[in-house]
Structure 1
Amino acid sequence: MEELLKFAPRPTGAGEMFQLLRDGRPRTRAELATVTGQARSTIAARIDSLVSLGLVTPSGEATSTGGRPPSTFAFNPAARVVLAVDLGATHARLAVTDLASRVLAEHEEPLAIADGPAQVLARVVELGSELLDKAGATHRDLAGVGVGLPGPVDHATGRPMNPPIMPGWDGADVPGTLQRALGTTVLVDNDVNVMALGEHRTAWREATDLVFVKVATGIGAGIIMDGNLRRGAQGAAGDLGHIRVPGAGDVPCRCGNVGCLEAVASGQAVANALRAAGAPVASSADVVALVRAGDLDASHAVRQAGRDIGAVLAATVSLLNPSVVVVGGILADAGENLLAGIREVVYQRSLPLATQHLRIATAHTGAEAGVLGASAMAVDAVLSAPAVEALVS
């Protein structure tokens, strides 16, 4: 980070200086003075302010070059906690994490998003309070809340926008409802964006350009470009599931169009096709179970779903040129069948330059991607330079 700062504007406030410490490496006052170009007295005053907030803590002494060894200071992730909430079509997964997104307590249970915002958010508040207690924290320790929802979200307001599988949620004030109940900052985004953030921060930090594809009840993508999440003008970037698949015919989609990727290659679409052929399946999880049991029809169906996804992803790869495509969601648990179909088509149809060093891999974080991303989203907000500066002032 210090090398980058040689070519960037130097930190001017306590909030900006704090960003240097977020990597967890202990530093002396002298090191911080060298990097920032500020007087040691200024650095000392800012360190004292950050220590009083609990965000920075003394971490021992550096090696002496003569005289008394200088004290070092480091980021203190245990200063506060955040509540991370991952809501899917049929599940709720919550976790309390520290400020480094390390999970301290977590819980998962079935919960139908179609039950509506009043019932679902009331349960989130109830579970969040229970998890805080389990983690040995109180509402006073709660620095922020991050929420992922299974539908389009206006990130600026945190309100769902015409979500197709969330009846009663259109325009619902999710941040306001949770903030009134929990008394802290609340950030809300589309679940796939949140999962992309979690996977990127956990497993692919070195990849500045990444596309995360979730294949579950629906299909969507989260886009990381130049190291940052890209949401698009209205937050609709990455909506792979409603791109028409070449040769898909007139298969109806819940969005009102026909031939959409979600209608032919989602976990539910595969389950419907197998059930129509006589297989005892009702859900994506049933499809995964059949594949793991060695059922050839299920394996072939999942591989074909991969090919259909690959047909849409090929254009995405040529357009965005990511270095990594990560595939998550429950259907990714079916193993190599899905990835094999995706790779088969993407490497065949995308531009050779775009696929020369492209990696297509299964998500490392699995079911944890959503809560890890929700935590990272909340942490980024509450530990941003302006937010910390406001606390110090």
Structure 2
Amino acid sequence: MTSPLSPPLPATEAGGSLARAGDLFQLLRDGRPWTRAELAMTTGLARSTVAGKVDLLLNSGLVVFVGEALSSGGRPPSRFAFHPQARTVLAVDVGASHVRVALTDLNGDVIAERRAPLPVADGPEAVLGYVVESGKKLLAESGRPESRLAGVGIGLPGPVEHATGRPVKPPIMPGWDGFDVVGFVQRSLPVPVLVDNDVNIMALGERAAYWPDVDDLLFIKVATGIGSGIISSGQLQRGADGTAGDLGHVRVARGADIVCRCGNVGCLEALASGGAVARALAAQGIDANTGADVVELAAHGNITAIHSLRQAGRDIGEVLATCVNLLNPSVIVIGGSMAAAGEHVMAGVREVVYHRSPPLATTNLRIVLSRAGERAAVMGASRLVSQHVLSPAGVEAALATMASAG
């Protein structure tokens, strides 16, 4: 995974001075080595002020020496850079029928991971108990102390109130509504815990790793359900109540008589999700129970399965054409388990989107398969934590904790 984007120069106080060491640190997040003199020249701070802030960051371990710069005479100046291995992150992907727990560094590079076929319907205690247990084992097996754990990021397959981390009436998560996910995890791992919808964090992970220069991106997850993560003007859009991007329950004309599990009729999810396509094939006498079965049938050349996947792509494209008109993304990424069907779904999506959207909105539009694949969610969960703990306020909090500890 690539390093986090170098953020813009932090806001300055009157007189042009950067307020805190946490602000100065933002210049270092791209991983490029700096000297104290270069930082002083860039920020306008006195060298003595820069030296004091850099010493704090060096003591925290977030910054390390990386050699010496060329000298024009006298002792060569030291270079230092962001040290992503200074802390670890526990990144968690909770799916409808699986849980993936990964240990990463602050750049999102995976150190170790575990995966289990654990249904989210087993309830929060069972699922989060596995998360905590697996996280502790990964830390122990990798020789990383719990004291260096920066935080835990968790993606859930349903709506989440981002401010509290509590699921809100999730349709496929019995027992999770209003559950205190943060509190449960923090009883065992007393670090920041951030929770979001799984598609939102997949969008974060895909963009950070493969589309860092793209400010307007849609990530579409096609699996047991269908949803999207919306990045607009470089920012993840959650909406007023955290339900932005819930494409699965947008009505599609072809499904007027098909009842969705949400109680409405004609929902995209009821026509084009993995389970929906499998049910349609089973009704024709073809042995298919899950989306994975459909993908396998298509891979072996089953014409009916291929046709059904192409039609699912068209149905998704019908909804995405409206999204393109409203949001004008430059990249649409198709991910989730059904993305394993590759070009069969993509062909249907492209066919409708390019036909139904105005030329100006599609001239530079790219519709692509996810490059992060199964790791998109854990990459995004890690990114969620690193954005929090490496922000100016997050770095200042870490430095304050160090100071109070002596």
- TM interval, shorter chain, is over 0.9
Alignment-mate amino acid for residue 111 of structure 1: L
Displacement after TM superposition at 1:383 (Å): 1.1
Distance of 1:83 and 1:18 partners within structure 2: 23
Distance of 2:353 and 2:111 partners within structure 1: 39
Distance of 1:383 and 1:135 partners within structure 2: 23
Q: Secondary structure at the match of 1:35?
A: helix
Corresponding residue number in structure 1 for 2:234: 227
Matched, 1:253 2:260: yes
Corresponding residue number in structure 2 for 1:366: 373
2:7–2:29 contact (8 Å) kept in structure 1: no
Distance of 1:2 and 1:69 partners within structure 2: 26
Distance of 2:87 and 2:64 partners within structure 1: 13
Matched, 1:110 2:110: no
Corresponding residue number in structure 2 for 1:63: 70
Deviations 1:213-233 (A, max 9, x none): 000000000001111111001
Task: List alignment gaps of at least 5 residues for structure 1.
Answer: none
Alignment-mate amino acid for residue 350 of structure 2: R
TM-score, structure 2 length as denominator?
Answer: 0.94
Percent identity between the aligned chains?
Answer: 59
Q: CA RMSD in A?
A: 1.5
Flag the 1:15–1:4 CA change in 2: closer, same or farther, 3 A.
closer
Distance of 2:63 and 2:311 partners within structure 1: 52
1:5–1:35 contact (8 Å) kept in structure 2: no
Matched, 1:322 2:340: no
Distance of 2:238 and 2:9 partners within structure 1: 27
Deviations 1:274-294 (A, max 9, x none): 011111111011111111111
Corresponding residue number in structure 2 for 1:43: 50
Alignment-mate amino acid for residue 312 of structure 1: V
Distance of 1:211 and 1:343 partners within structure 2: 14
Corresponding residue number in structure 2 for 1:337: 344
Distance of 1:284 and 1:346 partners within structure 2: 23
Displacement after TM superposition at 1:8 (Å): 7.8
* Mapping for residues 217-296 of structure 1, pairs under 5 Å: 217-296=224-303
Task: List alignment gaps of at least 5 residues for structure 2.
Answer: 401-406
Candidates 187, 210, 214, aligned match of 1:207: 214
Displacement after TM superposition at 1:7 (Å): 9.8
Corresponding residue number in structure 2 for 1:187: 194
Distance of 2:29 and 2:167 partners within structure 1: 32
Alignment-mate amino acid for residue 167 of structure 1: P
Distance of 1:124 and 1:390 partners within structure 2: 26
Distance of 1:35 and 1:219 partners within structure 2: 46
Matched, 1:124 2:131: yes
Displacement after TM superposition at 1:380 (Å): 0.8
1:12–1:36 contact (8 Å) kept in structure 2: no
Q: Secondary structure at the match of 1:167?
A: coil
* Residue-pair matches, total: 393
Deviations 1:98-142 (A, max 9, x none): 111111001111001001111111111111111112222121121
Distance of 2:6 and 2:230 partners within structure 1: 28
Displacement after TM superposition at 1:97 (Å): 0.4
Deviations 1:146-185 (A, max 9, x none): 0000000000000000000000000000011101111111
1:267–1:331 contact (8 Å) kept in structure 2: yes
238-247 vs 160-169, which deviates more? 238-247
Alignment-mate amino acid for residue 265 of structure 1: A
Q: Secondary structure at the match of 2:188?
A: helix
Alignment-mate amino acid for residue 124 of structure 1: V
2:93–2:156 contact (8 Å) kept in structure 1: yes
Distance of 1:320 and 1:285 partners within structure 2: 31
Alignment-mate amino acid for residue 28 of structure 2: L
